[in-house]
Amino acid sequence: MTAETRVRAADDTEAPLVLRGRTVVPGVVEGEALVSHETISGWGGIDPATGTIIERRHELCGVCFTGKILVFPGAKGSSGWSGFFQTTRLLGTAPIGMVFTVTTTKAALGAVVTRVPALSDLDRDPTELLRTGDRIRLDADAGLVTLLRRGPVAE
Amino acid sequence: MILTDDERGMRDGAEGPAVAAAMDLLVRYGEALGAEHLCEVRNVAGTTTQPSPAKARLVAEGGWERAFSVINLDSDETLDVPPMRVPTCQLQQGFGADAHGVPYPAEFVDLQSDAEAFYGRRGVNILATCTPYQVGNLPVRGEHVAWMESSAVVYANSVLGARTNCEGTASTGAASLTGRIPCWGNHHVTNRLGTHLVRADLPVRSFRDWGLFGYFVGDLVQEARPVLVGELARPDLTDLKHLGAAAASSGGIELFHLPGVTPEAPTVEAAFGGRVPEAVGYGPAERRTVYDRLNDQGDREEVDFVLLGCPHASLDQIREAARLLEGRHVEAELWIMAPRALKAVADRSGYTAVIEAAGGRILADSCPAMSRAAPEGTRVFATDSAKQAHYLPAILGIEAWFGTTAECVDAAVTGRWRGELR
């Protein structure tokens, strides 16, 4: 509720929404956000060949993350996580950036071997403040995520 | 990150380019975590031999040196792979040549056999199981190790009191050549204290009970460290294996404490290192919810395939399956996954003969989820493993039933699922 209000106020005044976090993998990228409110599994959770989330109970089941900035709470499940995301890089289906809230070895190593800019431990919850389809700038060198433009509202 | 002189030497190439690449990865990874330094390890459980399409392509391009460099060291160069610096074992992998009739690509069997020769020569122990702790790899309490495989990690931390994070393919590859891993998370004593108290308000006794309880706890606390109390029977290795694997599937649990059972929790207070939080209860309603969730991928009652042994079966589980199958004959395919070393004991003890006489089989090295292989035409499978019920529907696109070992064996014999939670 408060988050929504804050975002709308930010939109109205055209002051950009900026989140601050800790650098996991340096680099700068701009692109479309794909926001998951649920943690993501690597092994058994994604198909590296298509860059798609396949966990049946997952809110994003069937959604492709290739070329998107993946915004998610963190990694769960098997230790195959990093290997699966590394494979998305080798097969050309990787996301172009990662923003996550909870640092775990799976997510940190996963971001390292996917070799995309990544931030974690943000000052506010990115999965609440950002929406799928938003255009964002991820400056992992400076530790900033900036909302550039709201995407079309889903419902 | 602060490196010792030895570590700086490795990073700068004093021990060759592969070790330098390994140290480079560990530094990038350590910085990604915010770790301040590395710790020494002399027990690594990782994966190098497991076939995959991406790996097959890399081997075709530049041999196992290329596959190891790219996948296990995250390097773009193809580097000579030296002997493992510290004891390293291979976890579960693909199926081998003796898995007759399992629909698994012959080229993967050959690829893996080639890999075993390559890595074995460099000192990788081919244990080929997700449960190295069942076949002689038992780190001691307080020992820093670098393990992957979520169910093995939670066992090593919780039951053995060893210290490991949930490592990955690249970090274990780098650890095997350096004897180092970022000193972060579970390696620090202060990060090993309990965070949540969960109290079972109904008896947790059977193998299924422990799986249901673990699945509940994992979903509840996600990456945190639960302390489990209440009406818990004294668990054995098999129960603890199921508890941890289930908790690491619905959540990301790497460490739990069972006061009076696990080594870092002589008491509830000791498990928390002080203040004990209020307990969350696990009662009939919670158990029903978890049971229904594990069974929500099942629709048709006709069962084609029954899978036991995830994580890899203990001898007790194999013997139990043999007891349940004695004098019966299965309609559905029945596979029991086990470490090869334990299968040898089962063969010798006559359990395998009983299981095979009933039409079932014991398969080593792998599992349907790792190898993406189930009997031809499987639409519905049943399992006594919360972990396989969680993962296999997504991996193979099949329906799942979860229940007791006896219900699964009945389903194999009758071809119908009649499991229930009473």
pLDDT in tens, B292-321: 999 998 899 999 999 999 999 999 999 999
**How wide is the angle at C-alpha B256 spanned by C-alphas B132 and B43, nearest 5°?**
30
* pLDDT at residue A1 in the model: 40
B93-114 pLDDT, tens digit each: 999 999 999 999 999 999 999 9
- Count of residues in chain A: 155
Region B349-367 average pLDDT: 98
pLDDT < 50 regions, chain A: 1-6, 9-10, 155
Residue contact A112–B153, C-beta within 8 A: no
Exposed e or buried b per residue across A123-151, where buried means at least 16 C-beta atoms within 10 angstroms of its C-beta: eeebbebbbbbbebbbbbeebbbebeeeb
Query: The complex's ipTM?
Result: 0.90
* pLDDT at residue B408 in the model: 98
Q: What's the Cα-to-Cα distance from B23 to each of A89, A93, A113, B29, rounded to whole Å? A: 21, 27, 14, 10
Amino acid occupying residue B53: P
Region B193-206 average pLDDT: 98
Cβ of A104 under 8 Å from any chain B Cβ? yes
Residue contact B223–A118, C-beta within 8 A: no
Lowest mean pLDDT among A11-20, B200-209, B357-366, B368-377: A11-20
* pLDDT at residue A9 in the model: 47
What token pair was written down for B366?
């792998």
- Say whether B309 sits in a helix, a strand or coil: coil
* Share above pLDDT 90 across residues of chain B, in percent, rounded to a whole number: 96
Cα of first residue to Cα of last residue in chain B, in angstroms, is 55
Q: Which domains does chain A have, with CATH numbers?
A: 17-149 (3.50.30.10)
* pLDDT at residue A15 in the model: 73
* pLDDT at residue A4 in the model: 47
Contacts of B28 in chain A (CB under 8 A): 25, 112
Number of H helices, E strands in chain A: 4, 12
What token pair was written down for A1?
């509720």
Q: How far is CA B262 from the centre of its chain?
A: 19
Average pLDDT for chain B: 97
Region B241-265 average pLDDT: 96
Q: How far is CA B125 from the centre of its chain?
A: 17
A26-54 pLDDT, tens digit each: 999 999 999 999 999 898 889 999 999 99
* pLDDT at residue A152 in the model: 86
Region B227-247 average pLDDT: 98
Give the closest of B33, B47, B222 to A105, CB-based.
B33
Q: What's the Cα-to-Cα distance from B118 to each of A128, B85, B87, rounded to whole Å? A: 48, 16, 16
Is A78 considered catalytic here?
A: yes
B21-60 pLDDT, tens digit each: 999 999 999 999 999 999 999 999 999 999 999 999 999 9
Q: What's the Cα-to-Cα distance from B405 to each of A55, A67, B336, rounded to whole Å? A: 25, 44, 11
How far is Cα B162 from Cα B291, in angstroms, rounded to an integer? 31
Chain B nearest-CA distance from A8, in A, is 32
Please check the confidence at residue B350 and state whether its pLDDT lies above 50. Answer: yes
How far is Cα B328 from Cα A63, in angstroms, rounded to an integer? 45
